[in-house]
Structure 1
Amino acid sequence: MNIQFLGAAQTVTGSCYMLEANGTRFAVDCGMHQGNSEIEKRNADTEIYRPGDIAFFLVTHAHIDHTGLLPRMMREGFKGDIYCTPPTRDLMDIMLQDSAHIQEMEAEWETRKQSRFGKRKPVEPLYTMADAQSAVRRLRPVEYNAPFEPAPGIRVTYKDAGHILGSAFLEIEVTENGTPTRLVFSGDLGRPNQLIVNDPDHPARPDYLFMESTYGDRDHKDSENSRAELAEAIAYSHSHGEKVIIPAFAVERTQQVLYTLHMLWQDGKLPADMPVYIDSPLAIRATEIFRKHPRFYDDDLKAAYARGEDPLSLPNLRYTLSSQESQALNGMKGSAVIISASGMCNAGRIKHHLRHNLWRQGAAIVFVGYQGVGTPGRKIVDGAQTIRLFNEDVAVNAKVFTIGGFSAHAGQSHLLDWVGAFQHKDMEVFLVHGEEKAQTTLSEKLHERYGLTVHVPTYMEEVTLKPGRTMLTAPDESRAHPRVDWEFLLGDTEAKVAMLRQRLAGVEKRPWVEQVDIRDRVADLNREILSLLSQV
């Protein structure tokens, strides 16, 4: 049996694990790569997936970093089934179409931009709404704890991962030549006592465990502290007449924040004159899907509804569906709570809210989720003095709150305890969906505590699974991690500066108005270089 790591290998996006067993080629997840420009180029590099040869996909949950390339697979020839739980099916319906809309809009914008420079060839989107709808038609819902065989000799069981509504980890038993091999793919594993969803289940003892490691180097604050910190942020901005801006993923995180605000309202810690806006059409639709699947709630949420409460609502809750309504929030005076996407601040309406509020003393920016390397959110969390938004540097004067207790991911101790419930001396572990520091720390902990053999695969690495004889095959480094040719890049920059200097004599003979225009463009370049230097 072979497995290739096509994403979430020493990163936290693009989850995809391609398996070949019993003559069948199939994959666990197919997520979008998010991060720097080189990482995002992987989204178009679908040749390595060979979509037409894939028999089926097993999807752990609806987040775009686990599902966002499925429409691309349809576009490139995939014709099989996509298995997932019922809530995941409904959430993927809206999320994939929302993602496709973004792809189409970005391609249209880039086409217009290039047309202004005389280029006439239209930019193709990564995929279209039609591709997303094709993917949705392939979704096949399966229940928790109900084994099924998508292909001969491959038996799959979905178990509750406790991450978001409908999330699952997968137990896969592959029988080759009469010998069964048991694998577990954790997907994204939730933490105990999380709002809305149940605690994670435990799997049967596997031969191989493929486990996420997002927070492998640290634990989260508890939910009581997180609620108190959110109350502090609200009180701070309310007292200054400014806004609380909360970047939040549309699915699960927005609903968790709503639930917490409901509890603060019950405790008298959400001012009656402070409206709460959900400024994300996707989050609004996702909340309605949450209401559609009450049988997947945890006992606390079920009990709240039984008492006649609606923890996903507030007396002062407002929804902004249109872009005009969203824009109006930035001209609105007074304090408010604005929950908007994207959760890492790298796209969507949240960038506009940051542009209008990040520089305001008295405003609060509240991070309630993981911030990927290279994203604007990560830069703010790491203490950046300015952030580049819409081609201008915006000062970070707002008070920044980072509240880890909202995370839907298991922390280090949760991951170790989860493994401890089923580990055995012959089990091998592959750490995925994490950054290098988190994976190194967790690998050491797993080895120290349980004596386990732990592997940390890289992007495009392949592994042949043979109990006691696992074989790793290194990827083509030139393709997996293209080298940055700094000498060429800086030499090219210096050559262009030399050309500019040579032409200055001619520039000085031009009319004064033209000279000022050229001077301003050079000044813009200098500001760009200065901004770059501040980050190096």
Structure 2
Amino acid sequence: MKLTIHGAARQVTGSMHLLEVNQYKILIDCGLDYEKDRNVQANEDFPFNPAEIDVVILTHAHIDHSGNLPTLVRMGFDGQILCTPPTAQLTELLLMDSVSIFLHKQHKAGKHRRGRHHGARPQPLYLQKHVMDTVDRFVTIGFNKPFRLNGDVQLNFIPVGHLLGAAAAILTINDNGEEKTIAFTGDIGRKNYPVLDDPQPLPPVDYLVTESTYGGRFHTKDKTVEEVLVDTIEKACIKESGRLIIPAFSIGRTQALVYSLNKIFSSGLLPPVKVFVDSPMANASTNIFRKHHALLNEEAQDFYRVQGDEFEFENLHYVENLRESHQIANYFEPCIIISSAGMLEGGRIQDHLYNNIQNYYCTILFIGYCAKGTLGYRLLRGDPIVHIKDRELSVYATIKKTDLFSAHGDHDDLVNTVKQQSADRLKQVFLVHGELESMQAMAQSLEQDGYEVVMPEKGITHIL
């Protein structure tokens, strides 16, 4: 049995792991690599022949895990893609959105090149046809329902929180007569997250491939989500009669936020405030959350039985089209605007920022990570002037941030996931999906308790 980490090795994006069992090749995740200085077309450079991959296992829908699947299919992969039902539906949404982003960048590049001799415009990595070809290969499997890939390999999906449908992949393998087990965690969620169940403990395994995104970092624990939102809304919308803009990723983060606001307003903790959800993808993904209501956590299901739809309440309005989105600028009462993208790179959020960044009575609350170089990162850094839609604008709005909506487990969550395994049985822990500094912090905690930790380099094969 051989394991090669081809992506998310000592970095966060581009998860892609190859497991070979008796000539049978299993690819776990196939994400886009967004690391700096990397051209998106470089994602075509697979370190293996896509046509030789027998099956793909997809842990969850996020683009850094799923976003290169259409390229894999376009370049010859013709096997099944195994995932949970919500993951299949959310992935289709995200992949279609990626096509839109590719085409927008191509159009934008064409405008800049017009009248100049700069060669051909960059081509999209894939198109809608390739996404549909990919979707046709999805085979969905429920949680905790063992599925046999072939005579030697059995798969079981274990829920890990993080995102609706997100799963750890547990593989039980007959390796030349010897039974071996290996788990790929995907991304691990945190406990008590809005809407989602806590991560389920993993069964005992021989090898563990685990994410390490928040190694060495700890989430805020002295306040709840509701307390932070109440404090922020009360100041921005009640006392100052202004508006609160919350950039939020459309899938996962927006649903957690809307549910939390529903609890606040339905319980009377604050007087009613108009809430706009301005994201077509958020509207579509919320319907997928509704469809898979049985997978939401017990608190959300109890709320549904008493109050009704978790994602619908008085004064909440889902914006349907661009005309409605533009009309929000003419709404002069206090309000909350939830829009994507979370890092402010494109999307309708840029219109809202353009109209409000110089408004002293506007607060912008970040509830997610912003990568270096993004507009969100520059605002959080405190830049007094930012560039939005071809204009330099002074920042007069109040900028705030909370990590309570982060869907990633922190250092303690990650370490405790590993420590559920016996150090005597677990032969090796492979750390992926994290910067080297995060991996080192996590490795130090684990090695103190006798675990053998590997921080694999990209493309190096390990014999298990």
TM-score class normalised by the smaller sequence = over 0.9
Structure 2 partner of 1:418: 417
Q: Deviations 1:319-373 (Å, cap 9, x if unpaired)?
A: 2232232233345434321111112222322233233323332321111122233
Q: Could you list the per-position Cα deviations for residues 391-433 of structure 1 after superposition, in whole angstroms to 9, with x for gaps in the alignment? A: 4444333222221111111111122222222232343111111
Q: Which moved more, 1:239-248 or 1:43-52?
A: 43-52
Equivalent pair of 1:32/1:69 in contact (CA under 8 Å): yes
Unaligned 5+ residue runs, structure 2? none
1:464 equivalent in alignment to 2:459: no
For 2:40, give the aligned amino acid: K
Does the CA-based 8 Å contact 1:104-1:127 persist in structure 2? no
1:70 to 2:69 alignment? yes
Structure 1 match to 2:266: 266
**Alpha-carbon distance in structure 2 between the residues aligned to 1:11 and 1:42:** 18
Structure 2 match to 1:351: 350
Contact (CA 8 Å) 2:209, 2:431: kept in 1 or not? yes
Residue 121 of structure 1 and its aligned partner are, at CA, apart by: 4.1
Q: Go from structure 1 to structure 2 and tell me whether the alpha carbon gap of 1:10 and 1:382 turns closer, same or farther (over 3 Å shift).
A: farther
- Asked if structure 2 preserves the Cα contact closer than 8 Å seen for 1:33 and 1:42, the reply is no
Whose helix proportion is higher, 1 or 2? 1
The answer (yes or no) to whether the contact 2:340–2:349 under 8 Å persists in 1 is yes
Q: Distance between the aligned counterparts of 1:310 and 1:342, measured in 2?
A: 25
- CA distance change for structure 1 residues 436 and 353 in 2, over 3 Å: closer, same or farther? farther
- Could you tell me how far apart the structure 2 residues matched to 1:400 and 1:368 are? 11
Residue number in structure 2 paired with 1:436: 436
| 1:51–1:392 CA distance, 2 compared to 1 (3 A) | farther
Equivalent in the alignment of 1:318:
317
The answer on whether the counterparts of 1:360 and 1:398 sit within 8 Å (CA) in structure 2 is yes
Q: In 1, distance between residues paired with 2:236 and 2:64?
A: 33
With 63-72 and 347-356 compared, the bigger mean Cα shift is at 347-356
Structure 1 residue 43, shift from structure 2 partner: 4.9
Residues in 1 aligned to 2:235 and 2:42: alpha-carbon distance in whole angstroms: 41
What's 2:286 paired with? 287
How has the CA–CA distance of structure 1 residues 254 and 49 changed in structure 2, closer, same or farther, with 3 Å as cutoff? farther
User: Quick one: structure 1 residues 414 and 119, their matched pair in 2 at CA, closer, same or farther if it must change by over 3 Å?
Assistant: closer
Specify the SS of the correspondent of 1:232: helix
For residue 191 of structure 1, give the secondary structure of its aligned residue in structure 2: coil
Query: Does the residue aligned with 2:261 lie in a helix, a strand or coil?
Result: helix
> Which whole-Å CA distance do the structure 2 matches of 1:435 and 1:327 have between them?
39
Instruction: Tell whether the 8 Å contact from 1:202 to 1:422 is kept in structure 2 after alignment.
Output: no
1:139 aligned onto 2:129: no
Q: Compare CA radii of gyration and give the structure with the larger one.
A: 1
Q: Within 1, Cα distance between the matches of 2:199 and 2:404?
A: 17
Kept after mapping to 2: 8 A contact 1:153/1:176: yes
Point out the more displaced range, 253-262 or 41-50: 41-50
CA distance in 2, matches of 1:317, 1:83: 36
Q: What displacement does 1:282 show?
A: 0.5
Q: 1:15 maps to which residue?
A: 15
Q: 1:280 to 1:49 in 2, by over 3 A?
A: farther
Shift of 1:125: 1.0
Deviation at 1:443, TM superposition (A): 1.4
Cα distance in structure 1, aligned partners of 2:400 and 2:73: 41
Which residue is 1:184 aligned to?
183
> Is residue 108–residue 123 contact of structure 1 (8 Å, CA) maintained in 2?
no
User: Which residue matches 1:91?
Assistant: 90
Q: CA deviation at 1:24?
A: 1.9
1:283 Cα shift? 0.6
Q: Residues 242-391 of structure 1: matches in 2 within 5 Å?
A: 242-272=242-272, 274-391=273-390
Q: In 2 relative to 1, CA 50–362 (structure 1 residues): closer, same or farther, beyond 3 Å? A: farther
Two-structure CA RMSD over aligned residues (Å): 2.2
1:142-221 matches, cutoff 5 A: 142-221=141-220
Instruction: List per-residue Cα deviations over 1:28-79 (Å, max 9, x = no partner).
Output: 111122353x235365333325322221110111111211111122222221
Q: CA shift at 1:279, angstroms? A: 0.9
Alignment partners' CA distance in 1, 2:35 and 2:333:
35
Task: Quote the Cα distance in structure 1 between the aligned partners of 2:275 and 2:359.
Answer: 19
Structure 2: how far apart are the matches of 1:136 and 1:65? 17
Question: 1:240 aligns to what?
Answer: 240
Residue type matched to 2:23 in 1?
A: G
Q: Distance in 1 between matches of 2:395 and 2:443?
A: 36
Residue 120 of structure 1: how far off its partner (Å): 7.5
Q: Distance in 1 between matches of 2:70 and 2:92?
A: 11
Shift, 1:251, TM fit: 1.1
SS at match of 1:26: strand
Q: Deviations over 1:62-115 (max 9, x none)?
A: 111211111122222221111110111121222222222222232233234323
Match of 1:518 in 2: none
1:108 aligns with 2:95: no
Greater mean deviation of Cα atoms: 276-285 or 198-207? 198-207
Q: Which runs of 4+ in 1 moved over 6 A?
A: none
- Secondary structure of the 1:417 match is helix
Please name the residue that 1:399 is paired with.
Answer: 398
Q: Structure 1: where are the runs of 5+ without partners? A: 467-536
| Structure 2 counterpart of 1:29 | 29
In structure 2, how many angstroms separate the alpha carbons of the residues matched to 1:321 and 1:49? 43
Instruction: Decide whether aligned partners of structure 1 residues 415 and 122 sit closer, same or farther in structure 2, where only a CA change above 3 A counts.
Output: closer
Q: Which piece of structure 1 moves more, 92-101 or 166-175?
A: 92-101
What secondary structure does 1:170 align onto?
A: strand
Seen in structure 2, the aligned counterparts of structure 1 residues 126 and 298 have a Cα distance that, compared at 3 Å, is same
Determine what percentage of the aligned residue pairs are the same residue. 31
Comparing 123-132 with 215-224, greater Cα deviation is found at: 215-224
